[in-house]
Amino acid sequence: MTPTPAWLYYLFAVAMLTVALYGLMLLAVSVAIRRSAGWDVDIAHLFMGVSMAGMFVTGWAFGPSTIWELIFTLLLVWFLVQSIQSVIAFGIHLTHYLIHAAMSFAMLLMYVFPAGARSGAMSMSMASSSSARIDPGLGSLLAVVFFASAIFTLASPVKGASHHGRHSRAYAMSGSASGAAEVESGPAPASAAGGAVGLIAAPWLEDASHVVMCVGMGFMLILMI
Amino acid sequence: MSVTQVRTGDAPAAVIDSMGVMGRSLEQPRNLQRTFQLVLATVWLLDAVLQLQPFMFTRGPNGFSGMLNNLAAGNPGWVAHSITWNASNVYHNPVLTNSIFALVQFLIAFGIVWKRSLKPALALSIVWSLSVWWFGEGASNIFHGGATPFGGGPGAVLIYGLLAVLLWPSAGSDLPFVAARTVGVTAAKVIWAVVWSLLAVLAVVGSGRSPQALHDLVAAYTGQPGWLAHIDRATASMFLHHGTTAAILLAAVCVVVAIGVYLPSPFTKATLVLGIVTFVFIWVATENFGGILAGGATDPNSGPLVIILALLYWPLTLARKAVTGRPSSSTAGSKEALVR
């Protein structure tokens, strides 16, 4: 049962589905223009958006918990590997893959430890095998990290970095990886494609989807601790 | 060597990623005032989301209105009346009022992010902070001697307002410390001294030095995770046996920290660390992270805000790290990096 006020949870669920749909559209764009960067984030947002909508609204959840756990475990491993590779390639820095790894980890936690769900705030119908709850300290920490990511992403002068990172930005739309010098030159990704494709792949929109996901996931974690 | 050449090396000179954090550039010092503004926005966003918890929208003793009503107890009539009036409004329209409260905090958080709306957002945060302090927290029990810093006195929400003042956007340098950028060095130091002197006084007046009251303050927490409950038991026991000593010790620490900003830089840093460590302890052991871990919190309490405040006073120096990689011959106006 969705708690009061129901509209709030429907609002978040719709926002999550919107992010998922947007991720799907970005994936289509990536295929259409042979873009090599950011597709992993698109896939992650697609799965996260769909599954979180099911957490916010009873009845919108589907699929066995095990499948979701497997998906988010794979995403977690993928983003961790990407983080390591990014550090190896560019030296010590705060790679954007880390926040996506943290988000995948949070999703995994929410499926593995659904018992902390208070007040019937979310359906969590996909998981009932565990009576354990997310450690409140870890849940709170992740929530704060996501809120910080949302705020600093919005304020960042480099748009689209939440999606493609700083280093892969240059080939975000062009589909060709090149050296750091090209990264430095910072070509605007969206300008490489016009019309609807350019709008869908607009860096500010990619950042917006990340911000919405961060706020939604942080809220869910707060509800679960 | 041009900037581009520097950045084509193995390590990037500047990194801006999903966290939006720009790695320190050798070309330009980081705008620390802006960074702290965004940290403040993050705390406001946390508060906004906490306001959306289900119990906030419900009536009754376990709802938000009940929480407000409880804060009226013990206050003078004229203070208590304003709280019960607010609680009554929340009781009769819990969804509407709480939605508005959350919306205001979202507006502040995201308003701070955009530079165009930064000043209105900070101004709103000041007004909102004062309103919440009065109508929502009953002036944090300051009028009946119950505003011990161990419990968050004189009110975390007041520090939000103070941070908004100190972080009011201003052109110029973050030197000698970020808090001085807008209000000036003298005013910033006076503000610091007043705040910590107030904390010192509140630590020892009224029930602030009562072992039983301090014990009850910590013992009242319920629903905390096991490890925190363990800390609570130890803290409550310590307060029961040494509460007065702890209060006097806290007051002494606050006095030392208050005068610390007037001392030479190394001593200032030492007193700031002392203040930060003290409030880390308070945030964990006596504020219980504002109660967030038990659910039902409305904010993280004063601990993190006092720590942010202390960081605003951290003395900054100019490091002679020129972008060209060779030592700079001048100080002012050269391409130097701020180091903390």
| Cα A68 to the center of its chain, rounded Å | 15
Asked if B95 contacts B54 with a C-beta cutoff of 8 angstroms, the reply is: no
Closest by Cβ to A118, choosing from B39, B57, B295? B295
Rg (CA), chain B: 22
Confidence label for B28 from pLDDT (cuts 50, 70 and 90)? low
Answer yes or no: is A90 within a domain: yes
Q: Nearest CA of chain A to the CA of B46: how many Å?
A: 7
Confidence label for A168 from pLDDT (cuts 50, 70 and 90)? low
Overall residue count recorded for chain B in this entry: 340
Average pLDDT, chain A: 82
Asked if A213 contacts A16 with a C-beta cutoff of 8 angstroms, the reply is: yes
pLDDT of residue A173: 43
Stretch B91-108: mean pLDDT: 94
Confidence label for B10 from pLDDT (cuts 50, 70 and 90)? very low
pLDDT of residue A130: 55
H or E stretch covering B291 = none
Answer yes or no: is A162 within a domain: yes
What is the tally of structural domains in chain A?
1
Scan residues 2-61 of A and list those with Cβ closer than 8 Å to B. Answer: 3-5, 8
Structure token digits, residue A85: 């590779």
Confidence label for B14 from pLDDT (cuts 50, 70 and 90)? very low
Answer yes or no: is A46 within a domain: yes
Q: Provide the percentage of residues in chain B whose pLDDT is more than 90.
A: 57
Answer yes or no: is A15 within a domain: yes
Longest dimension (CA), chain B: 70
Tell me the pTM. Answer: 0.86
CA distance A56 to A16: 9
Residues of chain A contacting B294 with CB distance shorter than 8 Å = 136
How far from B216 is each of A136, B137, B213, B228, CA to CA, in Å? 23, 19, 5, 16
pLDDT of residue B70: 82
Q: What is the ipTM of this complex?
A: 0.86
Coarse DSSP helix, strand, coil percentages of chain A, rounded to the nearest 5 percent: 70, 0, 30
Closest by Cβ to B12, choosing from A91, A100, A152? A91
Q: Provide the percentage of residues in chain A whose pLDDT is more than 90.
A: 50
The sign of the CA dihedral B1, B2, B7, B9 is: negative
Stretch A156-184: mean pLDDT: 57
Closest by Cβ to A151, choosing from B23, B45, B54? B45
Angle at CA of residue A148, ends A147 and A149, nearest 5°: 90
Structure token digits, residue B35: 């960074």
Query: What confidence tens digit (pLDDT) does each residue in A110-155 have?
Result: 999 886 554 444 544 444 445 678 889 999 999 999 999 999 999 9
Answer yes or no: is A56 within a domain: yes
Stretch B137-163: mean pLDDT: 89
**Residue A115 domain boundaries:** 6-224
DSSP for residue B243 = H
CA distance B208 to B202: 7
CB pair distance less than 8 Å for A184 and B8? yes
Of the two residues A41 and B26, the one the predictor is more confident about is A41
Of A50-64, A125-139, B235-249, B313-327, the one with minimum mean pLDDT is: B313-327
Mutation choice for B interface testing from A4, A152, A159, A222 by most B CBs within 10 A = A152
Answer yes or no: is A1 within a domain: no
Asked if A153 contacts B19 with a C-beta cutoff of 8 angstroms, the reply is: yes
Stretch B72-82: mean pLDDT: 83
Average pLDDT, chain B: 84
Stretch A31-51: mean pLDDT: 88
